[in-house]
A and B are shown apart, each in its own frame.
Chain A
Amino acid sequence: MARKVTLQRKLGFTALAWFLGCIMFFPIFWMILTSFKTEIDAIASPPLVFFQATWENYQLVLNQSDYLKYFGNSVVIAGGSTILALLVAIPSAWSMAFSPTRHTKDVLMWMLSTKMMPPVGVLVPIYLMLKYLGLLDTRTGLVIIMMLINLPIIIWMLYTYFKEIPSEILEASRMDGAVLWKEIVYVLLPMALPGIASTLLLNLILAWNEAFWTLNLTAANAAPLTAFIASYSSPEGLFWSKLSAASTMAIAPIMVLGWFSQKQLVTGLTFGAVK
């Protein structure tokens, strides 16, 4: 009897999970569907579920705008900022996790608190700073800004992963004659690899999808895919199916990446929760 109840509950939870999953996925599904409609079908009311599919939007979007340039910018900005951030964050998290001082917790809290401020509050100073440095609308400028934006989260994530590693193992490597960089490269990094990988993936996704800074600090040269999407809801008017096609193309790379790394992401994000 008890078994039966748990089975029913299990089924119930599974159904609920699927239901929630479908709700979350629905907008994306609808966007992809719309991207294959003609503009007229796209604004039909009631919405059409069955229609004559067309590749026209994709062709148009690809011909009209320079998808590859935007894509390249996205890769450079998301990839560059992530790698740069990891290079800064790994030593910082290492020192905070393994040689904490009285103020380590405060520093961590302070870093996190910068994420609580609305970004628009610092838009003007950052805009002006980049302007004076001549970095407005450059990929370098954006890589630096995106790195700084995501650094607190990355340091926090790495700090939590590193905390899980017994410090005796690092001490053993010191006794075995490892200098600092060898200790980090041969012992810390391999042990923290799952955590580092999921930090890297999460940050890639965050940086790829980030729109506020990328839209405000770029114009023609360094604009990534977020700007590419935004350009379809422009003064020329809204073109739903072209916008959808552009959006689909913008998120496709990161969806593919996410799909192939989902196992890594899940194990990374739950690392430490169950030992």
Chain B
Amino acid sequence: MGNIVLEKVHKCFGDVEVIPSVDLDIKDGEFVVFVGPSGCGKSTLLRLIAGLEDLTGGKIIIDGVDVSDSTPAKRELAMVFQSYALYPHMTVRKNIAFPLKMAGMPQDEIDKKVMAAAESLNLTDYLERTPGLLSGGQRQRVAIGRAIVRSPSAFLFDEPLSNLDAALRVNMRIEITDLHKELKTTMIYVTHDQVEAMTMADRIVVLQAGDVEQFGTPLDLYNKPVNRFVAGFIGSPKMNFVKGKDADEFDAHEIGFRPEHMSVSTTKGRWKGVVSVAEHLGADTFLHVKTDEVGTLVTRSDGEINVNYGDTVYVSPNTDKIYRFGADGLAL
């Protein structure tokens, strides 16, 4: 079981309020991702759930039990740190066995579980090495191994892939997703990588300055952002925003449209501009178009488009896919 409920969770460091008040209900078996800009309190929120930081106010309830004042050990959660935080003086075998040893499990059972975990993570050849002699990806696997042996009620990940190179990151992302499908255990995953968030999550929590801006499925956030912040944060390249008479036309303070919902033409269109950056990625082409009326707009078209730096183009938004926002930033 791994149902985690946060009620009015509040955290200050000294006089600095980092988390004003957060309410969340994470269901058993869910894969929840916390995203948000740097310094918004993702790690702090995760560490509060883990029990590594004390609450200033509010409650944390795991499977119906109020654990607000419990030690991390009592909460039976496992955590994977960004720096892996392996024990440098222990072999891989001892690292993975450590939580079981702390739980007082008999040695023969420990051996069995460690072997099983090592096999599922392809670590059997490295069991007698110390972490210093492993590659980044292997260390990451050991950290995951140490987390899974104990069958915790939930896993907490704090940017676990950010120290890996791009190719390895994709592999590990898939491995973690597979792991979740196999174990069906609740996972809370902190990242500021959009792609990780969108591809891995059942539901995403978007945080800004310690506040939950929106909690929903990836497609919810993409299709129905509740405010301008979420609209701008989810999606890559970012949504374009336009104010003024163009927005008035749609009866809004500000309108937004995604780069993939725009058309580019060399002959006619809504706004005229000059291509200031052309990113040809092969399958896609991103154009940064500098217009006189509404500033720089980013468009996304397919790879075949024959437009280059310095060309004059006309861009128009797809009027069916326009997001409207009020003066308070909320979606209309």
Chain A residues within 8 Å of B, Cβ to Cβ: 102, 166, 168-169, 171-179, 182, 186-187, 190-191
Contacts and interface: CB of A to CB of B under 8 A. Distances in A.
B94 to A, nearest CB: 10
Contacts of B79: 171-172, 175
A178 B89 contact: no
A172 B85 contact: yes
Given A175-B50, A176-B146, 10 more contacts: A169-B86, A169-B88, A173-B87, A173-B98, A175-B73, A175-B77, A176-B73, A176-B99, A176-B102, A182-B102
Q: Top 9 closest A-B pairs, CB basis?
A: A172-B85, A177-B102, A176-B99, A168-B85, A177-B73, A175-B79, A190-B89, A174-B72, A169-B85
Contacts of B103: 177
B52 interface: yes
Chain B binding surface SS class: loop
B150 A168 contact: no
A169 B90 CA distance: 12
A271 to B, nearest CB: 14
A166 B150 contact: no
B71 interface: yes
Contacts of A187: 87
A178 B101 CA distance: 9
A166 B81 CA distance: 12
A193 to B, nearest CB: 8
A175 B71 CA distance: 9
Nearest to B83: A168
Contact of B73 (A166, A174, A191): A174
Contacts of B14: 102
A177 B85 contact: no
Interface in B91-130: 98-99, 102-103
B78 interface: yes
30 contacts: A102-B14, A166-B83, A168-B85, A169-B86, A169-B87, A171-B79, A172-B79, A172-B81, A172-B85, A172-B87, A172-B146, A173-B87, A173-B98, A174-B71, A175-B52, A175-B78, A176-B78, A176-B98, A176-B102, A176-B150, A177-B73, A177-B99, A177-B103, A177-B150, A178-B98, A179-B71, A179-B73, A186-B98, A187-B87, A191-B87
A191 B78 contact: no
A126 B3 CA distance: 60
Nearest to A178: B102
A181 to B, nearest CB: 11
Contacts of B98: 173, 176, 178, 186
Contacts of A168: 81, 83, 85
B81 A171 contact: yes
Given A187-B87, A191-B88, A174 B99 contact: no
